[in-house]
Amino acid sequence: MSIRHGLLALLERGPRYGSQLRTEFESRTGSTWPLNVGQVYTTLGRLERDGLVVQDDEDDQGHTLYAITDAGRVELRNWFETPVDRSSPPRDELAIKLAMAVGAPGVDLRAIIQAQRHHTVKAMQDYTRLKAQALADVPANRDEVAWLLVLEQLIFQAEAEARWLDHCESRLVRLAEAAATQPEPETRPAGRPAGRAPARFGRPRVRG
């Protein structure tokens, strides 16, 4: 849905053709979520089907231009004004991996966490360097400001993931310590049926 509405937002600035929309979308988001031309034109086709865009004129090079309709502007305004729904979060591969690794035979869960933490921290450092480069000069246009916002979201997301991984490792340590302090279950001598006490532990007979 973000691609659909992202294209509408770009078209509100004026008619565009497919590859132009792709270039502007990637410029605005710093190529964080790259698009291909086929994906753009497929989305434009659906928007046209839904009456949110129409094919406009052609430019000097013969590119078919698309323009937003009044219904498209209403759709875009509703998107801007409606909070992003978090009640059905997208599937997260890392969370699924750790959930499946718990109790899996032959899997070192702490090794998985440590490897992921190393990767996450490195990504966070890379994003921070990119942010420093972006701030070296005052952002000159809306695309640079938009890219800075996306970049900072990636930094915050990586920081949160690193903290969550620390929490996961701490929980594993606590569970291991708790398991180590639990008494081992009593074992029953082989060959003795359950529920019957050995003769030497039976009630002593009273002699009269």
pLDDT tens column, 60-103: 888 899 999 999 999 999 999 999 888 888 889 999 999 999 88
Per-residue pLDDT band at 135 (split at 50, 70, 90): confident
pLDDT tens column, 184-205: 656 555 555 555 444 443 444 4
| Three-class secondary structure of residue 55 per DSSP | strand
C-alpha dihedral sign at 78, 152, 24, 85:
negative
Count CB neighbours of 129 within 10 A. Answer: 10
Mean pLDDT to the nearest integer, 18-32 = 89
Rounded Cα distance between 41 and 65, Å, is 11
| Three-class secondary structure of residue 54 per DSSP | strand
Sequence-distant (≥ 6) Cβ neighbours of residue 128 within 8 angstroms? 155
